[in-house]
């Protein structure tokens, strides 16, 4: 049986981001390293303001499950609902 696919969604992190913004990458790695134990192949799916591109990638990946680790969009917490709304529309 082929592995199921898990999309790990997280906020885009610029290369020059300070450590408190980069810590999301540690969380992504932790989830990524755990998923094979559950027979999931993981795919990283960063999300930013280009929600059309995010939805397109989500549809292309066609995950069986989505792990949403998004903390903010472009460092704006008030935009946090956007990826969840797109993921809900995908479902």
Evaluate whether 2 touches 39 at the Cβ level (below 8 Å): no
What pTM does this model have? 0.91
pLDDT in tens, 16-56: 999 988 999 999 999 999 999 999 999 999 999 999 999 99
Outline where DSSP puts E strands in 1-91. 4-11, 40-47, 65-68
Evaluate whether 27 touches 69 at the Cβ level (below 8 Å): yes
d(CA 11, CA 38): 24
Residue 89: per-residue pLDDT: 85
Per-position b or e across 48-63, b if 16+ CB within 10 A of its CB: beebeebbebbeeeeb
Residue showing tokens 């609902």 = 81
Helix (H) or strand (E) holding 76: none
Residue 46: per-residue pLDDT: 96
Question: How many domains is the chain partitioned into structurally?
Answer: 1
Domain of 21 in residue numbering reads as: 4-90
CB atoms within 10 A of CB 9: 24
């Amino acid at each position: 049986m082929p592995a199921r696919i898990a999309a790990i969604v997280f906020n885009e992190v610029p290369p020059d981001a300070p450590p408190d913004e980069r810590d999301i990458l540690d969380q992504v790695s932790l989830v990524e390293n755990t998923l094979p134990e559950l027979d999931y192949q993981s795919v990283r799916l960063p999300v930013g303001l280009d929600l059309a591109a995010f939805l397109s990638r989500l549809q292309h990946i066609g995950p069986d499950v989505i792990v949403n680790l998004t903390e903010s969009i472009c460092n704006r917490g008030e935009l946090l609902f956007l990826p969840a709304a797109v993921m809900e529309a995908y479902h």
